[in-house]
Structure 1
Amino acid sequence: MTWSIGPDAIDDLARGAAVLGTGGGGDPYIGALLARRAIAEHGEVTAVGLDELPDDALVITVAMMGAPTVMVEKLPTLESIIDPVRAIGAYLGRPVTHLACAEIGGVNSTIPIAAAAVLGLPLLDADGMGRAFPELQMVLPTLSGISASPLGFADEKGNVGVLQTIDNSWVERIARVAAVEMGCSVMICGFAMSGAQARESLVRDSLRRCIGLGSGIARARTDKLDPVTRVVELLGGRELFTGKVVDVQRATTAGFARGTATLQAVGAGDDRDLTLAFQNEHLIASLGDGVSGDEVLVTTPDLIVVLEHDTGEPITTEGLRYGQRVRVVAAPSDPRWHSPAALAMVGPGYFGYDVPARRFDGTTAEGVSVTGVPAVTA
């Protein structure tokens, strides 16, 4: 199905992307500004479903790489967003035909819209994750054997480069160093793939899902309904925790926003604190004294989402502040993220946490409950 993305869709899309971003992916407000400006200057963007994609298409993903905390003050330009796309087309010696979101979280759902508007290219209604992850190689195309390189990158100063490496982990390692040297955030494009490869490796209907989430939150508020409950319904997840932010430890290191947030319970029930550990995105949610406490509730790759208590507005990791009243929601990720190869790449062990991967419903990969919470059927 082909449809148009106009300025009226941007707010809902950005809000929904901030939900799926699980705290990361960059500030959705900044991305929305860029997308609106590009559409105003160059026209609406054509969104194309994967089933309409020709087999011989040349698809590349577009994204921001770096620490979301930095992007709040170091704003990208439209030129820096399209420079990597032009560089990759020149490097490959053939024109790029379609753009796609590397991830559907935060700003990385709207930066590709800006690029598509300026370049006059169609944008796939799909993405590489179905959520956000902190490292470049952490996309489903990696599991399908699609190379991240050649990778184009550019900054707002006019620096542009193309990186060719032996595998996707080396792309992450080298590009991360470049991103740090270029101010801790750069615009990138890569994962060149055919239409057939895109259909196999990408997550379908991501943009429409974002719009549905964003508009669902807005409609719930208008109808005097609980927007957090609406998010739970749309995600097929469950509400984990209601509380107040009482501590945030956060630092920008090696191109990531790393840290923990402690939430104090509000209301009747378990009075233990909830600790969220994050690296750009939320990775672990646990009750007790932290990730080494007695009850890990949910881990990456499933979604851990922090929402403002009353409005349901998603809160990014860089937006967490002392005193905020929030509710935490857990939801399932794309099933492909629970394969052994995927867990080796994005599971808690990769990030240094000595805990098994735990699904949104409190079960392990074997379906055994580890939290005493009844499993939830999505």
Structure 2
Amino acid sequence: MAYEIRREDLEPLLLGGAFFGSGGGGTIESARHLAAHFVAGDYYPADTVKVVSVDEATEGAAVMVAYLGAPEAINQATYPIGPVTAVQNVAARLASQSTKLAYVMPPESGALGFTVAVLVAAKLGLAIIDADGAGRAVPSLPMLTFAAAEIDPRPAFLVSQGGLSVELDVTPRAGSNGGPTHQRDVSAIVEQMMRPVVADPEFGQFGGLAMWVMTPADIGRATPIRGTLTRALELGRAVQAGQIGTVPEMTRYLKEHCGLAARAISEPGELVSAEVDTAGGFDVGKIRIRSGSHTYTVIYQNESLLVWDSQRAHPVVLSPDSVAYYVGGEGQSIYSNGDLVQSDGSLNPDIGKRPVTLIAWRAEAEISKPGLNLDSFVQLLNSLGYLGPYVPLDKLASIHRGDAS
């Protein structure tokens, strides 16, 4: 059922989005920086946004909107100028074809993804659809359900914060939209074209992206993962209200309210080191947590993709399964990779010696079944040094117990 998001809802929304973002989806810092300026006035005509379900999105076309690039670079943005301009370009193109743009869609679950979609909708008088393309954050476009559904990626606009607009147009080999094979290939090609663009000095490692225009008929088949914005908002509210203050309370909430069989895959430990390098629009690195004789290493490319335990002969989490940090003690409990690691590569001093626990859960079925989405995750895991197949979280746990059946 439709409802409104108000300015005061952005903090719980971005907190919940960060938790479900599997370490990525933009930083809490960047999302808060943008949210702080969400006030009705010169830039935003209103400070409320309508949220609709997939089934309610019948009044026009929708487009996915996002920031693309390195979290550290995006932290500097005050207003979502690039994403707004990209959506305006799409709206103008559709208007020339007598089609109305009525909705925006976040690409993924994440603090920044949800916040940007809300702010763009507020700026342009659009509604936001309560769904996304993965139910977690992802490093590349072919990992999203929009790509797997073979939605035509044209038009696709990438716009810098300074207003430089680039349209990416991969012409089909045959027909007006190309065949299914072409559409599966083209999302990867567009991704490969975009990364060098955002790395250009004019873009400064990030830009606003609008692509995957969907008719009401397309919206349903492209978004099997639904209710994710509401899920994040409600979890963030529960955290703010003090209903979730421990790891057991978090895993219990996820089971009872989200239907997720989440569990702690590490003992509480201390954040001990980090490595990070920013290149091509990605923050790539490792975060290590030490607990007794165990050292847990989270390997990420913006998003957490792989977790090793020094006492195990195999990974303990493989993407697309999700893993989140839960920080105990006084203060904020949810952090993304970009919030844990500072721009100089040092650890966030706000964490100190507070206990850090890794909580993991299985990916949504739609992105973990054989096909483009899962293939894209496995290819990325291969590039990070894991050369085996995807093994779901519960089966990894069975291997650890000595029962691989």
Query: TM-score normalised to the size of structure 2?
Result: 0.83
Which stretches in structure 1 are left out of the alignment for 5+ residues?
none
CA distance in 2, matches of 1:131, 1:106: 11
CA distance in 1, matches of 2:147, 2:290: 38
Instruction: Report the counterpart of residue 23 of structure 1 in structure 2.
Output: 23
CA drift of 1:217 comes to: 1.7
Q: Which residue of the other structure, out of 262, 282, 285, is the alignment partner of 1:259?
A: 285
Instruction: Report the counterpart of residue 158 of structure 1 in structure 2.
Output: 163
1:238 aligns with 2:302: no
CA drift of 1:162 comes to: 1.7
Q: 1:312 to 1:239 in 2, by over 3 A?
A: farther
**How many pairs align?**
359
CA drift of 1:213 comes to: 1.3
CA drift of 1:336 comes to: 1.1
1:370 aligns with 2:399: yes
Instruction: Report the counterpart of residue 319 of structure 1 in structure 2.
Output: 339
Q: What secondary structure, in the 3-state scheme, does the structure 2 residue paired with 1:258 have? A: strand
1:147 aligns with 2:168: no
CA distance in 2, matches of 1:163, 1:77: 24
CA distance in 1, matches of 2:386, 2:108: 23
- The structure 1 segments of at least 4 consecutive aligned residues displaced by more than 4 Å after TM superposition are none
CA distance in 2, matches of 1:80, 1:344: 30
Instruction: Report the counterpart of residue 389 of structure 2 in structure 1.
Output: 356
Q: What residue identity is the alignment partner of 2:387?
A: D
Instruction: Report the counterpart of residue 84 of structure 1 in structure 2.
Output: 86
1:283 aligns with 2:324: no
Contact 1:81-1:187 at 8 Å conserved across structures: yes
Q: 1:40 to 1:358 in 2, by over 3 A?
A: farther
Q: 1:30 to 1:40 in 2, by over 3 A?
A: farther
Q: What residue identity is the alignment partner of 1:115?
A: V
Instruction: Report the counterpart of residue 11 of structure 2 in structure 1.
Output: 11
CA distance in 1, matches of 2:392, 2:383: 16
Q: What residue identity is the alignment partner of 2:10?
A: I
1:130 aligns with 2:132: no
Q: What secondary structure, in the 3-state scheme, does the structure 2 residue paired with 1:171 have? A: helix
Contact 1:217-1:227 at 8 Å conserved across structures: no
Name the structure where strand makes up a greater proportion of residues: 1
Contact 2:62-2:101 at 8 Å conserved across structures: yes
Which stretches in structure 2 are left out of the alignment for 5+ residues?
172-185, 255-259, 341-346
Instruction: Report the counterpart of residue 296 of structure 1 in structure 2.
Output: 315
Instruction: Report the counterpart of residue 234 of structure 2 in structure 1.
Output: 212
CA distance in 1, matches of 2:153, 2:250: 33
1:56-108 alpha-carbon deviations (Å, 9 max, x no partner): 73110110100112222x31533323100111122343331111101121211
CA drift of 1:186 comes to: 0.5
Contact 1:130-1:334 at 8 Å conserved across structures: yes
**RMSD (CA atoms):** 2.2
Query: Identity rate of aligned residues, in percent?
Result: 24
Instruction: Report the counterpart of residue 46 of structure 1 in structure 2.
Output: 50
CA drift of 1:49 comes to: 0.6
CA drift of 1:38 comes to: 3.5
Q: 1:243 to 1:174 in 2, by over 3 A?
A: same
CA distance in 1, matches of 2:209, 2:50: 21
CA drift of 1:36 comes to: 5.2
Instruction: Report the counterpart of residue 273 of structure 1 in structure 2.
Output: 295
Contact 2:27-2:337 at 8 Å conserved across structures: no
Q: 1:39 to 1:198 in 2, by over 3 A?
A: farther
